[in-house]
Amino acid sequence: MESNEAVAAATSETELKAEEPIHNNTHQPTSDTCSTEENVLANSITYYSNAKKYWSNISPTVDGMLGGFGSISFIDIRGSEQFLKHLYKQKPAPGRKRALDCGAGIGRIAKNLLVPLYEQVDLVEQDEHFCQTARVELADCNPKLGSIFNSGLQDFAPEAGRYDIIWAQWVLGHLTDRDAVQFFIRCTKGLARGGMMVIKENFTTTNIVEVDRKDSSVTRPLAVMKQLLKQGNLRVVKEQRQTSFPKELYPVYMLALRPLIKN
C-alpha cells in the first residue's frame, strides 16, 4: 500500500459498488484513469504493487508529497494543530507521550505537527526512499524521533497500548476496504489509555467512490468511510472540515476517533 500524503482535485465521478472501495485519489484523475472498482481490486497484490511503483517515481519533496500543491502545507498543518488542541479539551484527553504518523512520506506532518506536541514520534512509510529522506529531515528532532517503520499500512501492526495519537492523513485511499477495516482494528489495539486516532482525508461530495488507476487509489464518500470505521471498531468523537484550501480540491475532513469497544 502507498503510505504518502497527496491532495486530489475534484473531477468527474464514476459510480462504483460500495462493497469494496479502495482509496483516496492523489491527483487529478482523467477519464482514462477512472475505472470500475471491481477491475481495480481484482488482484490486490497488483493493486498495491502498482501504487508502490507510482510513488517510487515521485520526488521526495513537500510538493511531491502533496501532488503539486505544496503551497497548502502551512494551512494544512495549522488546521490540524487547531483540531488537535480541541481534542485536548475532551474527557478523558489523550496523553502527550507518543504519536504515530501513518503514511508519513518524508515526515512533513511528523516534523511540523507531531514533534512539537509529543515526547516521541514514530513514523510508518512504505517507500524506503521516503524513509531515508524523513531520517534526514528529522535528524535535528532527536531524541523525539522514534522508530521509522518501512511498511505499508496493510501489513503494519502498532505495538499494543503504545500511542496517545495515531495520525493517518491522505493515505487511507491506498487501502482496500477490507485492509482499511483490519488496519483500524489494529490501531484500536495500538492506542494507549485515553488515546485517539485521527484521520484526515479527501472525500467526494456525493455517494460515489472515485477510482484513480494512475496511482492505485480511491476517494471515498464520507458516509462510506464512517461505515468502514464502525466495522473497524472506531467511533467519531469530533469531525471538522479543513478550511482555506483551494476550491478545486476535494473537501478534506478531520475525524477524531475512539474505540467503540475497549480492547
Q: Which pLDDT value is given to residue 173?
A: 95
**Angle ∠(49,54,55) on CA atoms, nearest 5:** 100
Q: Which pLDDT value is given to residue 262?
A: 74
What's the CA gap between 14 and 209, in Å, rounded? 7
Q: Which among 229, 233, 168 has a CA at the least distance from the CA of 202?
A: 168
- Residue 108's H or E segment, with its range, is helix 108-109
Strand partners, 154: none
108 is in an annotated binding site: yes
154 is in an annotated binding site: yes
Q: Which pLDDT value is given to residue 27?
A: 39
Tens of each residue's pLDDT in the chain, 263 residues: 434 455 554 433 333 433 333 333 333 433 334 445 555 555 688 889 999 999 999 999 999 999 999 999 999 999 999 999 999 999 899 999 999 999 999 999 999 999 999 999 999 999 999 999 999 999 999 999 999 999 999 999 999 999 999 999 999 999 999 999 999 999 999 999 999 999 999 999 999 999 998 888 999 999 999 999 999 999 999 999 999 999 999 999 999 999 998 76
What cell was used for 176? 482496500
What is the model's pTM? 0.87
Q: Name the phi and psi angles at 124, rounded to 5.
A: -130, 125
Q: Which pLDDT value is given to residue 46?
A: 85
User: What is the DSSP secondary structure assignment for residue 143, as one 8-state letter?
Assistant: T
- Within a 10 A sphere around the Cβ of 39, how many other Cβ atoms? 10
Q: Is 244 left (phi over 0), alpha (psi -120 to 50) or beta?
A: left
